[in-house]
Amino acid sequence: MEQFLNINTIKFDKNGLVPAITQDAETGDILMFAWMNRESLEKTLETRVMTYWSRSRGKLWVKGESSGNTQEVRKVFIDCDEDVILFKVDQKGMQASCHKGYRSCFYREIDPDDGTYSVIAEKVFDPDDVYKK
Amino acid sequence: MEQFLNINTIKFDKNGLVPAITQDAETGDILMFAWMNRESLEKTLETRVMTYWSRSRGKLWVKGESSGNTQEVRKVFIDCDEDVILFKVDQKGMQASCHKGYRSCFYREIDPDDGTYSVIAEKVFDPDDVYKK
């Protein structure tokens, strides 16, 4: 797409992907981390709806397509090395980003003393209800 | 290290690395993004000082070693898939994470209309003064 020629400096890795960090525009919480190829980046900028590249499914992934928990782009940032993109978004739907039912994928804290995990957030939805078999 | 057996569930990629997102514990700003191997993760948890794996130099990288801008670990989080780690840190030294002299590596905003970049932060230090040739 011609209007996005300026993002040609972005360094996609040898798989054609860049890391995307998604941050809640209101709270500053990190909601999730995923990957984008050039097509998903262009689609995200064009539609203002977060569209990742699913490495496991090998296809474009409009976040919230099945759950309704879409993410609306508010601001976009590029890092110094031009190989990571940061998105500030409005989390729509049930206000949850994580397929496990939490607002953020980072719902567990690691204790640096012993490396144990503990859940530090409340579930927003029950994944069994949302992702029907 | 035996005390960190609990982090054995972490899924390092085929290069033995996991993405690490570093967030300012006070402001919630994303400071930087880098990679860790198991040794750098264990060293980070043990010393409470952010220690990444430098892919370009192929060695452990104690952030701030040359600039004095170390990062002290406050909290650590693991994502749902156990393949990304989030650190909340106190940025020490000149309060800058980026080798370009900015507080955050994400000092440029991408305009989603045309993909152009604009600098949205002030330089904290002059890299030429800090990283002597």
- The answer to whether A75 faces chain B, any CB pair under 8 Å, is yes
Q: Which amino acid is at A71?
A: Q
Residue A5 has pLDDT above 70, yes or no: no
* pLDDT attached to residue B5: 61
Span A44-60, average pLDDT: 97
A33–B112 CB contact, under 8 Å: no
- The answer to whether B7 faces chain A, any CB pair under 8 Å, is yes
Residue A26 has pLDDT above 90, yes or no: yes
* pLDDT attached to residue B66: 85
**What ipTM did this prediction achieve?**
0.94
Domains in chain B: ranges and CATH? 2-125 (3.10.20.810)
- Distance (Å, whole) CA B116 – CA B108: 10
A105–B3 CB contact, under 8 Å: no
Span A29-39, average pLDDT: 97
Q: Which amino acid is at A27?
A: T
Q: Which amino acid is at A35?
A: W
Q: B81 to chain A: which residues are within 8 Å by CB?
A: 105
Within 10 A of B112 (CB to CB), how many other CB atoms are there? 19
Q: Which is it for the CA torsion B50, A120, A94, B11, positive or negative? A: positive
Residue A3 has pLDDT above 70, yes or no: no
Torsion-angle region of B69 (φ positive above 0: left; ψ -120 to 50: alpha; else: beta): beta
A8 CA to centre of own chain: 21
Residue A133 has pLDDT above 60, yes or no: no
What does the buried/exposed string (b/e) look like for B73-87 if buried means 16 or more CB atoms within 10 Å of the residue's CB? beebbbbbeebbbbb
* pLDDT attached to residue A7: 81
Q: Which residue in this structure is represented by tokens 């650190």? A: B87
Query: Which residues, in sequence order, are CB contacts of B117 under 8 Å at separation 6+?
Result: A6, A78, B108, B109, B110, B111
Identify the helix (H) or strand (E) that includes residue B58. Answer: none
pLDDT by residue (tens digit) across B61-91?
999 998 899 999 999 999 999 999 999 999 9
B6–A113 CB contact, under 8 Å: no
* pLDDT attached to residue A70: 97
pLDDT band at A66 (very low <50, low <70, confident <90, very high): confident
- How near does any CA of chain B get to the CA of A78, in Å? 5
Q: Closest Cα to residue A50, out of A28, A78, A21?
A: A21
Q: Average per-residue pLDDT in chain A?
A: 93
Span A24-47, average pLDDT: 97
- How near does any CA of chain B get to the CA of A28, in Å? 5
Q: Closest Cα to residue B41, out of B90, B97, B3, B68?
A: B3
Enumerate residue ranges in chain B where pLDDT < 70: 1-5, 132-133
Residue A103 has pLDDT above 90, yes or no: yes
Q: What angle do CA B58, A8, A31 make, to 5 degrees?
A: 70
* pLDDT attached to residue B79: 97
- Distance (Å, whole) CA A71 – CA A89: 6
- Joined together, the tokens standing for residue A43 give 């689609």
* pLDDT attached to residue B8: 84
- Distance (Å, whole) CA A12 – CA A20: 11
